[in-house]
Structure 1
Amino acid sequence: MNHLAAIAIFAIIIFTGNVNAHENKAKASGHEALTETSLQIENWMTDEHVWNVQAAPGTAREAEAELKVESWMTDQKAWELAYLAATETEGELALEDWMMNNTYWKI
């Protein structure tokens, strides 16, 4: 079975090595040959009735909340990198008993 698999892999290598490529032009895709039509402004694009929200009868606009500057937005301490990402201190590396115990490391 292994012999048959090795022959199959060798045959694939032989066949892929015999590729006969002639052109070396790079083409992104077939859409490069298409030409785009020019863009035209249509009447509905500039019509006030289409874009004026209050023009539609029976519709009410939602009142948006007023934007306010809050204290945290202007607090200099809130934007300091040292404050945002507090550095953690790690203890010293030390050898522990289980690391040197031979019973844990016997195979």
Structure 2
Amino acid sequence: MAQSKYEVTYIISTTLDEESKTALVNRFDGILKDNGAEVVDSKDWSKRRLAYEINNQHEGIYHIVNVLADNDEALNEFDRLAKIDGAILRHMIVKRED
């Protein structure tokens, strides 16, 4: 089965210090890898002002992960855990066609 390309974008709370943010990113990259996905690229996009307040915050750190996956198991697990984790304000998973 051919691997599909996905882009995972999530917004990290600015209340985290740099060490905690790095640990969070490594944890969620690990979740993807442990569930069978290949993380091609994982990088911070930028700290940006949010269009609307989320959890009393006006800014967030956008992080983008490009992933190759055979199935949606890794993405479903990422989605489930991202909804639970309070440090991730919002997330979005998009299947890329390129």
TM-score by length of structure 1 reads 0.16
TM-score by length of structure 2 reads 0.17
Structure holding more helix per residue: 1
Structure holding more strand per residue: 2
Structure whose CA Rg is larger = 1
